[in-house]
DNA sequence: TAATATGTAACTACGTTGGTGACAGTCAAC
DNA sequence: GTTGACTGTCACCAACGTAGTTACATATTA
């Protein structure tokens, strides 16, 4: 989100991973890894070579928090236990299949809430906050 | 959830961490650690000594998935980055405070969805699934 | 007192993540 | 065309969290 807000705020030309890393306070490579995920999800475009960098692939008001979450966290937030329970126990045999749809419904509720907020919204709120 | 469903299904007397570990397919100590969190949240009671074990502290239809998630995962699911962004950047300075309420709203939506499902519900669905 | 539980500390193993350096590939500007 | 400025990606390390395990103090029943 920090990266996308930055891209929206400084939309005149691409930003370099060095510049972004300076604002996020991390390493350029970490930013490039993150940007790679956003790019694969179609949220940003990267331009190689000199004067290159990252730009939003869509208007900021058409990228939601949910889009970014999906891009960056492909797996479920509510994960089932990695090792299978004991299939000889009536509960163990069925618990995973029983829980999965409930978890999925919860995640959909989360995604719906996050879908209501766009990068443009966050940028505007950031500007309002920075005015102080 | 597995632990709580088990406790609800076999509600006649306390279950030992050994028995629970057998169904979850893990180690008794891991179960006791988990149960400790559930107990601190007031969802289960533990009885020490011989013939001891774990029992639900409330009826199964008054324990929701959200209760258990809160007990087991005290921190937020949507966490802010650990290291602070650069305060000299307008976006970096404000992004965390701007994002926090949106994240909180998302988590509330998730909690609301998970609150609609109780341990009793899951147990019933497990029984139905095990019938096959 | 003996047997059976939990609570908890300590330790290991493992996977994940952030940070870092290095380097090949790509593009703009001179 | 050469130089310089970028990204993409690899390899590596350190830090961290977690599951599993052993061990032991403590509490309770019989």
pTM beyond 0.75: yes
> What is the pLDDT, as a whole number, of residue A108?
97
pLDDT of chain B along its 132 residues, tens only? 999 999 999 999 999 999 999 999 999 999 999 999 999 999 999 999 999 999 999 999 999 999 999 999 988 999 998 889 999 999 999 999 999 999 999 999 999 999 999 999 999 999 998 787
A99-103, long-range: CB < 8 A, 24+ apart: A99/B1, A99/B122, A102/B65, A102/B114, A102/B117, A102/B122, A103/A76, A103/A78
Residues 8-37 of A with CB under 7 A from strand D: 15-18, 28-29, 32-33, 35-36
Task: Phi first, then psi: give them for residue A44, nearest 5 degrees.
Answer: -135, 165
- Nucleotides of strand D under 7 angstroms from a protein beta carbon: 4-11, 19-23, 26-30
> What is the pLDDT, as a whole number, of residue A121?
98
- What's the Cα-to-Cα distance from B78 to each of A31, A76, A93, A110, rounded to whole Å? 19, 12, 31, 10
Q: What is the pLDDT of residues A46-100, one digit of tens each?
A: 999 999 999 999 999 999 999 999 999 988 999 998 889 999 999 999 999 999 9
The pair of structure tokens assigned to B106 is: 């998302």
- What's the Cα-to-Cα distance from A42 to each of A67, A99, A106, A111, rounded to whole Å? 10, 31, 25, 18
- What's the Cα-to-Cα distance from B103 to each of A51, A105, B98, rounded to whole Å? 35, 18, 9
What is the Cα–Cα distance from B64 to B120, expressed in whole angstroms?
Answer: 9
The pair of structure tokens assigned to B1 is: 């959830």
List residues bridging with A56 in a β-sheet: A44
Does pLDDT of A132 surpass 80?
no
Judging contacts by C-beta atoms under 8 Å, the chain A residues touching residue B125 are 94, 98
Instruction: Give me the percent of chain B exceeding a pLDDT of 90.
Output: 92
Q: Read out DSSP for chain A?
A: -HHHHHHHHT-SSPBPHHHHHHHHTS-HHHHHHHHHHHHHTTSEEEE-STT-EEEESS-GGG-BHHHHHHHH--S-SSPPPSSPP-TTSHHHHHHHHHHHHHHHHHHHHHHHHHHT-BHHHHHHHHHHHHT-
Judging contacts by C-beta atoms under 8 Å, the chain A residues touching residue B11 are none
> What is the pLDDT, as a whole number, of residue A16?
98
What is the Cα–Cα distance from B57 to B46, expressed in whole angstroms?
Answer: 9
**Under 8 Å between Cβ of B64 and B114:** yes
- Identify each DSSP E strand in chain B by its residue range: 44-47, 53-56
- Closest nucleotide relative to residue A75's CA, C1' based: C16
Q: What is the pLDDT of residues B75-103, one digit of tens each?
A: 899 999 888 999 999 999 999 999 999 99
Q: Distance (Å) from CA B12 to C1' C16?
A: 41
* Of B82 and A20, more confident: A20
User: Mean pLDDT across chain A, nearest whole number?
Assistant: 96
> What is the pLDDT, as a whole number, of residue A53?
97
- What's the Cα-to-Cα distance from B69 to each of A78, A116, B65, B76, B81, rounded to whole Å? 9, 24, 6, 10, 21
Q: Which residues have CB atoms below 7 Å from chain C, the nucleic strand?
A: A 25-27, 29-30, 47-52; B 15-18, 28-29, 32-33, 35-36, 39, 46-54, 83
Average pLDDT over residues A95-119: 97
Buried b (16+ CB within 10 A) or exposed e, B80-90: beeeebeeebb
Size of chain B in residues: 132
**Are A90 and B114 inside 8 Å of each other by CB?**
no
Size of chain A in residues: 132
């Amino acid at each position: 989100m920090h990266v996308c807000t930055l891209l929206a705020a400084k939309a005149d030309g691409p930003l370099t991973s060095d510049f972004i890393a300076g604002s996020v306070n991390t390493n350029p490579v970490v930013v490039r890894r993150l940007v790679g995920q956003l790019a694969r999800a179609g949220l940003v475009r990267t331009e190689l070579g000199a004067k290159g960098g990252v730009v939003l692939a869509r208007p900021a008001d058409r990228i939601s928090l949910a889009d970014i979450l999906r891009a960056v966290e492909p797996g479920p937030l509510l994960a089932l236990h990695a090792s299978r329970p004991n299939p000889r126990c009536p509960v163990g045999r069925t618990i995973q299949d029983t829980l999965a749809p409930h978890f999925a419904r919860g995640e959909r509720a989360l995604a719906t809430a996050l879908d209501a907020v766009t990068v443009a919204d966050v940028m505007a709120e950031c500007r309002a906050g920075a005015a102080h």
